[in-house]
Amino acid sequence: MMRPILLAATIVLAMLSGCFGEEIVSVQETEFEVVAPESVLRGQYFTIEITSDVDWTMNRSPGFYFMDEYNVLRDDVEMTFDAAQTSLTFLVLDSER
């Protein structure tokens, strides 16, 4: 009889174990805004404007190529940029995948 009561008490106390003693750390508000065209034509360059106070990462779709600070097209799938970078230029080659 003692074993089922102990098992039930353990289950109930396990559910409550995470409710006490946790320090809540405030989350820093960040600013991130992107201004981009709604649609673009294939074979054209387009630029998006970014306002951010933190570093940001861009994931590209197939057929899009990033232009780096030396005007070289990059085909990295993911690139992280400094918060100071305020624009990013793409070349759209194939958008029908």
> For every residue of 67-93, which 3-state class applies, written as one string?
ECCCCCEECCCEEEECCCCCEEEEEEC
pLDDT for 41-87, tens place per residue?
888 888 999 999 999 998 888 888 888 888 888 888 888 889 999 99
Asked if 90 contacts 67 with a C-beta cutoff of 8 angstroms, the reply is yes
Whole-number Cα distances in Å, 37 to 22, 48, 75: 44, 7, 21
What is the sign, positive or negative, of the torsion defined by CA atoms of 47, 37, 28, 78?
negative
Residue 96 pLDDT > 70 = no
pLDDT for 62-74, tens place per residue?
888 888 888 888 8
DSSP 8-class letter at 7: H
| Four-point Cα dihedral 70, 76, 78, 84, nearest 10 | 0
Total-model pTM = 0.59
